[in-house]
Chains A and B, each alone.
Chain A
Amino acid sequence: MSAPLLSVRELKVVVGGRHILHGVDLDVAPAGVTALLGRNGAGKTTTVRGILGLVPRSGSVRYDGHETVGMTTHQLVRRGIGYVPEDRGVFAALTVAENLRLAERDADPAYDLVHELFPELRQRARQAAGTLSGGQQQMVAIGRTLLNRSNRLIIADEPTKGLAPRVVTEVAVALERAAQAVPILLVEQNLALVRRLAGHCVVVADGRTAHAGPAAELLADAEKSRTLLGVGRRADAATGPGGDR
């Protein structure tokens, strides 16, 4: 594998005096999807938030060859990161169009791509995002990251959580499409989706990296995926219950 685009070493996060991450290591390949896996409460969301500087962190986060732990979130994001947070992070009081406009960083935003993937967003442009269904909100959240062609990394935290199967497929298509152009760090509980999209995977458990390797290899090993991910034979079952935040 060529030099990773994002390289995290010994990432530690303390929130409110509680040590949540004790040292996460992970690499995101410069192409394709890297899956970040782990049981509920393992620290996946905290890892992502730590990478982005949304929680105080220590350790090393090298992005595109530069150390970013001293940067603020907006400085890092402006270097070309699109983020789909776990709770979708749409602004409920803003319209769909306003939510998208807020995310514009490029001079020439890719509305054509967003509207092609999610035609509903065009029809509902003037609707308040808070009144959208969960699936539609997720489309807004993903649409925001696809809008900037200059993005060089997308970080998506459980983009299919709580969605109906039809919408999961729609989201998966969008991610697959995006992954052709931009590498993705994908937190995902839906292992069928991981199998379909991810090349590499990293597993965190109790705030540490517990495993890293090709995704297909891990998912093929029933014993290993049971101990690491806490899933049984029906590994392809729908997503788990919503995580706590």
Chain B
Amino acid sequence: MNVPAVNVASLLRRWWPVPALVVLVLLPYSALPLPGLLDGPIGSPGSLQLLALCLVFGALATGYDLLLGRTGLLSFGHALYFAAGTYATDLMLTQAGLGFWPAAGLGLLSGVVLATLLGSVSLRMTGIGFAMVTLAFAQAGSILVQRDPGGVTGGEEGLAATGLPGSLVGIQHTANLYWIALAYLVVTLVSVRWTVRSPIGRVWEGIRENERRVEVLGLRPYGFKLVAFVLAGTLAALGGVVYLLLTGGATPQTTTSDFTLSLLVMVVLGGSGTRWGPLVGGVLYTWAQHRLASLAGSGTIAGLPSVLRVPLSQPLFLLGVLFVIVVYALPGGVAGLPARVRARTVSRSVPRGVQA
């Protein structure tokens, strides 16, 4: 028996994220073309920009799953905290004229404060009531941003950021933005993993399984849920700051309920409550949306008959349909796929067809 080989395999199984991270860090230096997947070579600014967006949304979905998959809280207002990070930082830059770092700090802080305040109110409701209240709050934020009563958010136009540090602006610095996005992803993954495995995480699991039982144990679920809500909100606000850098400004689309719904789609697509599922879902979704959008704009689709061309020109239509298919055919998301394949090959599961 080859003992060292076994050790390498088990080491790799445990530590593969480390080499994966190294590879991700080194990507900007690669000139490898990935035709079909990316338009230019990996290290080109266009590709790095898309990759960075994928990482940000992967991280955002991972943070959102802290609520959905880990604690069982269906929040429809996550966009609010993301947008708070983006807009507050942007306003500190453009209106208050602060430097980037203090502005980012205050932007993050506003996300935390908002999540604490609104979380403590929303969590008075449970289940779907909670979902609706978070939705309503996020809608209020969205209305504020879009109607722009104070004349500061730029309304429908959005708000371009000014006064960003030179090393974070411009096409030649895309690699820096990419690394920031990667760092944000690592921070998110580590904090989610760490809290989920802590005693708090075990209470979250209990709440997800059966909230009443947690109460019977003499614990008040409210406080634990609030911690999850605030942590997820904080991570979202941080993501908002990173997004501001990536896109050079704030757009009102990030405040809408559709934005939260797309996070939900990412999480479910990838596999809710799993370690890597939301990340995979976020990356896939973001990548697909960009590819589909550029496909719709290209000549490939224009030649098709209208029955195909019309729906194919709408990425949201395709994603919506894809999502329904995933809900049906892949209940565990993409992350559940290997286990399903294994189960299928190992033993034919008992047919659960119920005849009437």
A70, B210: Cβ atoms under 8 Å? no
Chain B residues close to A by CB (< 8 Å): 209-210, 354-356
Which applies to chain A's interface (DSSP): helix, strand, loop or mixed?
loop
User: A16 interface residue, CB < 8 Å from B?
Assistant: yes
What are some 9 contacts across the A-B interface (CB < 8 A)?
A16-B209, A16-B210, A70-B354, A70-B355, A70-B356, A71-B356, A72-B354, A72-B356, A75-B356
Q: Whose C-beta in chain B lies nearest to the C-beta of A17?
A: B209
Size class of A's contact patch?
under 10
Question: A15-32: contact bitstring with B at CB < 8 Å (1 yes, 0 no)?
Answer: 010000000000000000
Please indicate the chain A residues that have their CB under 8 angstroms from the CB of B354 in the complex. 70, 72
Given A70-B355, A72-B354, 7 new contacts (CB under 8 A):
A16-B209, A16-B210, A70-B354, A70-B356, A71-B356, A72-B356, A75-B356
Q: Please report the C-alpha to C-alpha distance between residue A16 and residue B206 in the assembled complex, in whole angstroms.
A: 12
Q: Which residues of A contact B356 (CB under 8 A)?
A: 70-72, 75
Distance of A75 Cα from B356 Cα, bound (Å): 8
A16 to B212 alpha-carbon distance, docked (Å): 14
Q: Which residue of A lies closest to B209 (CB)?
A: A16
> CA of A71 to CA of B355 in the docked complex: distance in angstroms?
7
Chain A residues with Cβ under 8 A from B210's Cβ? Answer: 16
Could you tell me the distance between the alpha carbons of A69 and B209 in the complex, rounded to whole angstroms? 27
Q: A16: which B residues are within 8 A, CB to CB?
A: 209-210
Distance A154 CA – B57 CA, assembled complex (angstroms): 57
Q: In the complex, what's the smallest C-beta–C-beta distance from A243 to chain B, in angstroms?
A: 15
A132 smallest CB distance to B (angstroms): 26
Residue-wise, chain A 75-94 has the 8 Å CB interface mask toward B (1 for contact) of 10000000000000000000
CA distance A94 to B354 in the complex (A): 33
Q: State A75–B355 Cα separation when bound (angstroms).
A: 11
Nearest A residue (CB) for B354: A70
Interface residues of A in 2-51 (CB under 8 A from B): 16
- A75: chain B residues within 8 A (beta carbon): 356
In the complex, A99→B210 CA distance in Å? 31
Closest 9 CB pairs of A and B: A70-B354, A70-B355, A16-B209, A75-B356, A16-B210, A72-B356, A71-B356, A72-B354, A70-B356
When C-beta atoms are compared, the residue in chain A nearest to B353 turns out to be A70
- Encoded as 1 (CB less than 8 Å from any B CB) or 0, chain A from 58 to 76 comes to 0000000000001110010
